[in-house]
Amino acid sequence: MTRQPLSRERVVAEALRIVDRDGLDALTMRRLGGALGVEAMSLYHHVPNKAALLDAVVEAIMREDVDHATFGDGPWTDRLQHIAIGYRGLLLRHPNAVAIVATHPLTTPGSMLIVERCLGTLTEGGLEPAEALAALNAVVLWTLAYVLAEVGRLPGAPPGASPEEAHDAIAALAPAEFPLVTAAVAQTTWGLPDGEFRFGLEAMVRGLATVLGD
């Protein structure tokens, strides 16, 4: 049986599989080489160092949405919300890699393809290119920070309570001692990821519309 030749695409795909399955701390050049059946030094013919490998992993994640992202139609405010919701979904498909995305800005042409598509749909929706970039940066950074807190998987950090567990713990507080907190939790989706995310997203987009004079 002929062994599949080593390529940059195989190296990056296997690196992402390791992170998805076992976490960021498990990704070492030795571990990656072993998974690919080669010596670790062979990897450096395809990625010059660990930092470049992580950049490539971010690119691979972002390219997942280049052909599949949906932005909706209508005004740019609706399209921007579609972008944020899709971005959150993309990050949640790779929770172990969120910390990499947060610390490795998009710099490669491959990873910038999705940015180009996002700017395209926002300008079609009525924004100027500079306005589109400002709005996109604001919402993407907020979404990334939200998901980073949501997954709670910084390298080496123990997992905390899930958002649902935290919500239930707050809801179980004594109403006599915490009347406003318990009433608020009972009446809203505060503390639950989807409801909290949508609320914050809508508030941000409305604020951007005001700032940009929409």
CA distance 75 to 68: 21
CA distance 44 to 50: 9
Q: Could you give all domains of the chain from N- to C-terminal order, each with its CATH number?
A: 8-47 (1.10.10.60), 62-154+161-211 (1.10.357.10)
CA distance 124 to 109: 22
Nearest to 151 by CA among 23, 27, 61, 25: 23
pLDDT tens track for 30-51: 999 999 999 999 999 999 999 9
Residue 212 CB partners (closer than 8 Å, separation 6+): 127, 131, 134, 135
pLDDT tens track for 107-118: 888 888 889 999
What pTM, to 2 d.p., does this model score?
0.83
